Amino acid sequence: MPEVPEAPVLTALYGGTDRADAVTVAGRACSYEELLGAAGAVARRVSGMAAFAVEATASLETVAAVVGGLLAGVPVVPVAPDAGPAEREHVLKDSGAEVVAVDFAERADFGTEGAGDDGDAPALILYTSGTTGAPKGVLLSRKAVAADLDALAEAWQWTAEDTLVHGLPLFHVHGLVLGVLGALRTGSRLVHTGRPTPQAYAAAGGSLYFGVPTVWHRVVKDEAAARALTGARLLVSGSAPLPDPVFADLRALTGHEPVERYGMTETLITVSARAGGPRRPGAVGTVLPGIATRVAEAADGIGELQVQGPTLFDGYLGRPEATAASYTADGWFRTGDIAAIEADGTHRIVGRASTDLIKSGGYRIGAGEVENALLAHPAVREAAVVGAPDPDLGQRIVAYVVADGVSGQELTDFVAARLSVHKRPRAVRFLAELPRNAIGKPQKHLLPPV
């Protein structure tokens, strides 16, 4: 094994487990030694580059590419394998990176991780979803990644004794930073299922599971798969709000109350429920060590969540004005998310300021609260709520639902009976499915016009 660097991100790779299946992706397994050899070959090829890109498929090749970038001290740009031509062209042109092909069978001993790098240089350039314009490259340093993974390991009691299971995309923070680099830092065995199906999760025999709400919704619809997770230690949900009914079903079928957490590409994970602490539906827990949060310009108890801490990004690539605009004058990162912080420090995320804070008839209404009320109806499978312009109310609440055998008026009455009457939908649209991105997050900007 190579000499241990002074401050590597992937501490477990140096002197960690020698098991042959330390990392398994889509049915292919390797040891740490094999992974380091393949990553070393990548590092030799990319050494001296300003950055390089990789087709971030669910594969050992993607893992080797990212580890190789860390070895060489060269930032990696993961490209979504299903990216359209325009998106792909933008990411490659904006980052100046060329796609590097990876042969996992090729081996080389490159040496220590990030040789000559103090940790401040970017390890990854992850691109935003582009919902408010062209996707921006987010610069994440090795120090930020390490700080976040250590904080999460403490919060979730995540150790080398765990087996982490997930099937999330390897071009986002959730699947790549937490789901791959987290395992390689803590030393937990990693099983990436290729696709996050309920059957694959059930068969994996993990102690720690990561999923997005769509994954957990599908798990609870497969009772046998859900009950197979009773032997796990912790179920973690993130990347979008977990509907209250799914939380309740997981608790009933698996015996576990899922841990919810909150973060962004620009901040990594900043708030989380704890493995040994309370977990409540709709709540994402308390701040991680070293993180500070505040709610700005709060009214009715909710306002924009702002963040400071060591996990924050180093700016948007080539966009100093956008970087400056993302911070307040006194140095707090503006998340654009609307939140409430309770007296005990528990955070609840209402949604995005641009789409999920609805101002109707003088009231401030969180779309998530109305969505959860709709999802409590047995006929509703999916729900998304937005505010539409209204000459009288300012905005009226419009619900898009995937449901069978129920009318819009019934759903309106159902919500009005559970929440304040002013929070009821004024219009209900029925869809075959909601538009979602690769990690299952509803894309409200793609909903059809009201």
pLDDT score, position 133: 63
Q: Are strands 347-352 and 333-341 parallel, antiparallel or unpaired?
A: antiparallel
What whole-number distance in Å separates Cα of residue 315 and Cα of residue 54? 21
Query: What domain range includes position 118?
Result: 11-194
* 288, part of any domain: no
* 231, part of any domain: no
- The encoded tokens of residue 299 equal 């009214």
Q: What is the CATH number of the domain that holds 76?
A: 3.40.50.12780
Structural domains in the chain (count): 2
pLDDT score, position 4: 38
Instruction: Check whether 425 has a pLDDT greater than 70.
Output: yes
Q: Considering 194, 213, 248, which residue would you say is the last residue of a domain?
A: 194
In this predicted model, what pLDDT tens digit does every residue of 43-83 receive, in sequence order?
Answer: 999 999 999 999 999 999 999 999 999 999 999 999 989 88
| % of the chain exceeding 90 in pLDDT | 72
pLDDT score, position 112: 65
* 286, part of any domain: no
Q: Considering 131, 164, 194, which residue would you say is the last residue of a domain?
A: 194
- The whole-number average pLDDT for the span 13-32 is 91
* 118, part of any domain: yes
pLDDT score, position 421: 86
- Using alpha carbons only, give the angle 388, 390, 395 rounded to the nearest 5 degrees: 55
φ and ψ of 39, to 5 deg: -65, -35
- Residues 300-320 as b/e (b if ≥16 CB within 10 A, e otherwise) read eebbbbbbbbbbbbbbbbeee
Cα torsion 41, 169, 204, 278: sign? positive
Lowest mean pLDDT among 256-270, 300-314, 350-364, 396-410: 350-364
* 292, part of any domain: no
Q: What is the CATH number of the domain that holds 406?
A: 3.30.300.30
* 413, part of any domain: yes
SS3 42: helix
pTM score, whole prediction: 0.84
Instruction: Check whether 206 has a pLDDT greater than 90.
Output: yes
Q: Considering 178, 194, 210, which residue would you say is the last residue of a domain?
A: 194
* 242, part of any domain: no
- The whole-number average pLDDT for the span 380-393 is 89
* 365, part of any domain: yes
